Amino acid sequence: MSAFRFSSRPVDLAVLRAELADPACGGFAAFEGWVRNLNEGRTVQRLEYEAYEALALREGARIIAEARQRFDVPHILCVHRVGELQIGELAVWVGVSAPHRDEAFRACRFVIDEVKHRVPIWKKEHYLDGDSGWVNCERCAADAAPAHQHHSHSR
């Protein structure tokens, strides 16, 4: 199975962790991104993730290959949710196992940062007041702000 994947249902973290088990690895680092109830001062009720999967899988696999090479770590896994999510749910999970903790931490940080910047995934927030909007798109379109602001809940 590919090291970068999507899931339309909640994921079983024990299963993902088991995939990274390796007797030669003494360090494991993971990052979990959770759905937050507040973004830019507005109360968020729920959100939807949408992906351009054909390209996202390709770019996600490239990021993981880069991280493996750059930090010389043997095992990396990243799962991103798509579809409708509630507050508190896990939106993205990155796990890395390596002989030592330092490269595991660094590779994990690299993967989540690159995924947020490069992989074609979009998030639509539904607010308490009934309004909704695509994150990073609505305001930019309205007031001609720069395109690449990467504000998000899991920062």
Q: Please identify which residue in 21, 38, 55, 65 interacts with another protein, judged by CB under 8 A.
A: 55
Could you say whether residue 51 binds another protein (CB under 8 A)?
yes
Q: Which of residues 4-33 bind another protein (CB under 8 A)?
A: 33
Could you say whether residue 124 binds another protein (CB under 8 A)?
yes
Could you say whether residue 115 binds another protein (CB under 8 A)?
yes
Q: Which range in 10-18, 22-30, 45-53, 95-103 contacts another protein by CB under 8 A? A: 45-53
Could you say whether residue 121 binds another protein (CB under 8 A)?
yes
**Which of 56, 65, 71 minimizes the C-alpha distance to 115?**
56
Q: Provide the minimum distance between the beta carbon of 98 and another protein in the complex, in angstroms, as a whole number.
A: 22
Residues 94 and 31 sit within 8 Å (Cβ to Cβ): yes
Instruction: Dig out the tokens for 59 from the structure.
Output: 């770019």
Q: What distances in angstroms separate CA 80 from CA 72, 103, 129, one per listed residue?
A: 23, 22, 27
Q: 141-144: long-range contacts (C-beta < 8 A, 24 or more apart)?
A: none
Cα three-residue angle 7-102-107, rounded to 5 degrees: 35
Give me the residues that bind another protein (CB under 8 A), please: 33, 49-52, 54-55, 58-59, 80, 91-92, 112, 115-124, 134-138, 140-142, 144, 147-150, 152, 154
